């Protein structure tokens, strides 16, 4: 309590108590008339009750301030967000309401930062894997795992659509632990979603799959699972267009933040797959040029036929990754094949 308020309360209480004491200490004094005693009594009572009223009012106004200070201290020390009852702060001129509005805005900002951090972490996992590894299947498996971790999904799959035949092939599938993966190939609406996304090169989003299926078996399964479906084209050059498809048992829709993560991961996965394709093409060209140079050197420098054959077999084996390579000649007299040269290395 401030010192000035304490002093005012002390003076009022002292004055009121002192007047009552003086009035009733000399009740038979001739100098005091009845009306003087009554006036002094009223004044003393007013001072006394004014002091008590000030104390009550101060405590009433001080309690909400204490609650606000306590909430701010917990927020600053522990990061705990606790809204205050606006009914208790009705006498603070909207202070509790302003504090609660600030907390709501802060929570919105926190949620946005959390979602953006989650999205960037998921993308970073895809990008870092693609930068260090050119295993296409491993990248796709990691993409499925990232989608399961980043979005509230129960299962996710990556398909490929051959162009222009439109043949669909399931390349990768992954489900959350303890969740049975449905027969994705048996659900016709999955295939329709993939084809539609491949044809339009845009996201296909199905929030209600009841209208997507006509057969009784598929309809019963959809009513039981109620998955949300999103198909995105992975824009890769070449003859195959990849598509990532995700679904969830928990609820029949995706929120915008999840779709943004889904789209971002698919875009970076497209870049990774395209880089892998370019790497494979470059690697094949390098192998072709290197192999051609080695064969040219062998033909120009080696004169013995058997040694030349062994050298050529060694070049072919090491260049194309074979374990064993051999040259057989047909013996017309015996009617069988005879090994002329053989080269190999342990697997």
Domain ranges of the chain: 3-82, 115-280, 282-344
Q: Tell whether the model's pLDDT for residue 145 goes beyond 80.
A: yes
**Average pLDDT, integer, range 261-277:** 74
Residue 75: pLDDT band (50, 70, 90) is: low
Residue 211: pLDDT band (50, 70, 90) is: very low
Residue 6: pLDDT band (50, 70, 90) is: low
Q: Residue 331 pairs with which residues in a beta bridge?
A: 336
pLDDT at position 140, please? Answer: 78
pLDDT at position 222, please? Answer: 45
**Average pLDDT, integer, range 155-173:** 75
Q: Tell whether the model's pLDDT for residue 249 goes beyond 60.
A: no
Task: Look at strands 155-162 and 336-344 and give their pairing.
Answer: unpaired
Q: Where are the alpha helices (DSSP H) in the chain?
A: 3-25, 34-78, 95-132, 136-150, 188-200, 216-225, 256-301, 305-320
Q: Tell whether the model's pLDDT for residue 23 goes beyond 70.
A: no
**For the domain bounded by 115-280, which CATH number is listed?**
3.30.450.40
Phi and psi torsions of 168, nearest 5° = -105, 135
pLDDT at position 178, please? Answer: 77
Residues 6+ apart with CB under 8 A from 44: 15, 16, 17, 19, 20, 23
Most confident of 98-102, 171-175, 324-328: 171-175
Sheet hosting strand 168-175, strand order edge to edge: 168-175, 155-162, 240-247, 229-234, 204-206
Q: Tell whether the model's pLDDT for residue 273 goes beyond 70.
A: yes
If we measure between CA atoms, which residue out of 160, 176, 311 comes closest to residue 247? 176
């Amino acid at each position: 309590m401030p010192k000035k308020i304490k002093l005012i309360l002390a003076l009022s209480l002292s004055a009121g108590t002192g007047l009552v004491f003086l009035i009733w200490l000399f009740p038979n004094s001739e100098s005091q008339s009845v009306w003087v005693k009554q006036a002094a009594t009223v004044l003393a009572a007013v001072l006394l009750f004014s002091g008590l009223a000030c104390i009550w009012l101060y405590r009433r106004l001080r309690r909400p301030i204490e609650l606000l200070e306590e909430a701010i201290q917990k927020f600053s020390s522990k990061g705990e967000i606790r809204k205050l009852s606006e009914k208790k702060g009705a006498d603070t001129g909207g202070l509790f309401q302003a504090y609660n509005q600030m907390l709501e805005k802060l929570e919105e900002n926190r949620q946005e930062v959390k979602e953006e951090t989650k999205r960037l972490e998921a993308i970073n996992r895809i990008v870092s894997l693609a930068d260090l590894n050119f295993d296409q299947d491993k990248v796709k498996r990691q993409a499925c795992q990232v989608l399961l971790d980043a979005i509230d999904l129960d299962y996710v799959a990556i398909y490929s659509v051959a162009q222009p035949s439109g043949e669909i092939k399931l390349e990768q599938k992954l489900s959350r632990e303890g969740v049975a993966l449905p027969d994705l190939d048996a659900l016709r609406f999955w295939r329709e979603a993939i084809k539609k996304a491949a044809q339009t090169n845009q996201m296909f989003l199905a929030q209600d799959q009841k209208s997507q299926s006509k057969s009784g078996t598929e309809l019963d399964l959809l009513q039981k699972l109620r998955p949300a479906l999103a198909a995105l084209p992975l824009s890769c050059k070449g003859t195959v267009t990849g598509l990532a498809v995700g679904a969830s048992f928990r609820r029949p829709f995706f929120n915008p933040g999840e779709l943004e993560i889904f789209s971002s991961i698919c875009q970076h996965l497209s870049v990774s797959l395209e880089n892998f394709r370019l790497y494979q093409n470059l690697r094949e060209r390098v192998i072709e040029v290197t192999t051609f140079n080695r064969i040219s050197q062998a033909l120009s420098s080696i004169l013995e036929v058997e040694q030349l054959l062994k050298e050529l077999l060694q070049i072919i084996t090491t260049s194309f990754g074979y374990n064993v390579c051999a040259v057989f000649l047909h013996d017309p007299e015996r009617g069988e094949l005879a090994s002329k040269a053989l080269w190999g290395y342990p697997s």
